[in-house]
Amino acid sequence: MSEWVTICQLSDVLPQTGICALVNKEHVAIFRPTEEKQLYAISNIDPFAKASVLSRGLIAEHQGDLWVASPLKKQRFRLKDGVCLEDKTYNVKSYDVRVHEDTIEIRVG
């Protein structure tokens, strides 16, 4: 059965940035690309560098989708589903994320 886990307040994540949260022993990167309440969540582990760094990557638009570029090796991961632009065999997990009463929550389970 899935449940929603509270991460932090929406105001804790500045627009155009990401944060990392530990959710059920998994490193999750949560991104807020704009002032709006639209959020994205993917694994924070860069599968190329095997490091927990994606939340510190740069958010950019490419062909109508939002991506984050790894701060280490620069591969790009699509925020909506974790697909790797450069090599789809290195996709990362994506998570359901929402804002509920100005609190960010991630679905687990």
**pLDDT for res 9:** 97
Q: Distance between CA atoms of 11 and 37, rounded to whole angstroms?
A: 10
**Domain hosting residue 99, numbered range:** 3-108
Residue with token string 């996709």 = 91
What band does 88 get if pLDDT is binned at 50, 70 and 90? very high
pLDDT digits (tens, 9 = 90+) for 6-48: 999 999 999 999 999 999 999 999 999 999 999 999 999 999 9
**Residue 109 above 90 pLDDT?**
no
Structural domains counted in the chain: 1
The domain that holds 9 is classified in CATH as 2.102.10.10
Residues 6+ apart with CB under 8 A from 65: 78, 79, 80
**Residue 2 above 90 pLDDT?**
no
Q: Distance between CA atoms of 48 and 55, rounded to whole angstroms?
A: 15
